[in-house]
Amino acid sequence: MNNKSRRDFLIKTGYGLGGLAVSGFLPGGGVIASAFADDPALQALADANPLAPKAPHFAPKAKTVIWLHMSGAPSTLDLYDYKPQLVKQAGTGIPASFLQGIKTSTQGGVTKLIATKRDWKQHGQSGAWFSDWLPNLAEHADDLAFIKSSVTVGATHDISIMKLNTGGLNPGRPTLGAWVQYALGSANPNLPAYVVLYNDKREPRGGVTNWESGFLPAVYQGTPFRPGNSPILHLNNPEYLAAAEKRHALDLLKQINQQHAANYPTDSELQARTESYELAYRMQETAPEAVDFSKESDATKALYGLNDEITRPYGELLLRARRLTERGVRFVQVVSGPTDIKGDSRDWDAHQNIEDNHSKHSKIIDKPIAGLLKDLKAKGLLDETLVVWTSEFGRTPWSESGDGRDHNPWGYTQWMAGGGVKAGYTHGGTDELGVQAIKGTEVDTYDLHATVLNQLGLDHLKLIYKYQGRSERPTVVYGKVIKELIA
Tens of pLDDT, residues 263-309:
876 664 555 456 556 666 677 777 788 888 888 999 999 999 999 99
pTM: 0.86
User: What is the structure's pLDDT at 200?
Assistant: 76
User: Cα separation of 302 and 172, whole Å?
Assistant: 41
Tens of pLDDT, residues 37-76:
455 554 444 556 788 999 999 999 999 999 999 999 999 9
Question: What does the pLDDT profile of the chain (487 residues) look like in tens digits?
Answer: 444 444 443 333 333 333 332 332 233 334 444 444 455 554 444 556 788 999 999 999 999 999 999 999 999 999 999 999 999 999 999 999 999 998 876 555 688 999 988 999 999 999 999 999 999 999 999 999 999 999 999 778 999 999 999 999 989 999 999 999 999 999 998 898 999 999 877 788 888 888 999 999 888 889 898 877 667 765 566 666 666 776 677 677 777 877 777 787 666 455 545 655 666 667 777 778 888 888 899 999 999 999 999 999 999 999 999 999 999 999 999 999 766 666 557 899 999 999 999 999 999 999 999 999 999 999 999 999 999 999 999 999 998 778 999 999 999 999 999 999 999 999 999 999 999 999 999 999 999 999 999 999 999 999 999 998 999 999 999 999 999 999 9
Of residues 270, 273, 253, the one with CA closest to residue 2: 270
Cross-strand pairs, 23: 14
User: What is the structure's pLDDT at 288?
Assistant: 80
Who's near 253: CB < 8 A, 6+ residues apart? 274, 277
Dihedral sign computed on CA atoms, order 338, 342, 343, 344: negative
User: What is the structure's pLDDT at 392?
Assistant: 96
- Spacing of C-alpha 413 from chain mean position: 16
Cross-strand pairs, 120: 131
Strands 223-225 and 194-198: parallel
User: What is the structure's pLDDT at 324?
Assistant: 96
Tell me if residue 150 falls in helix, strand or coil.
Answer: strand
Of residues 435, 438, 296, 423, the one with CA closest to residue 371: 296
DSSP letter, residue 343: G
User: Cα separation of 486 and 425, whole Å?
Assistant: 9
Of residues 422, 144, 192, the one with CA closest to residue 324: 192
How many CB atoms sit inside 10 A of residue 487's CB? 12
Strands 144-150 and 412-417: antiparallel
Tell me if residue 181 falls in helix, strand or coil.
Answer: helix
Cross-strand pairs, 196: 224, 333
User: What is the structure's pLDDT at 276?
Assistant: 59
User: What is the structure's pLDDT at 278?
Assistant: 65
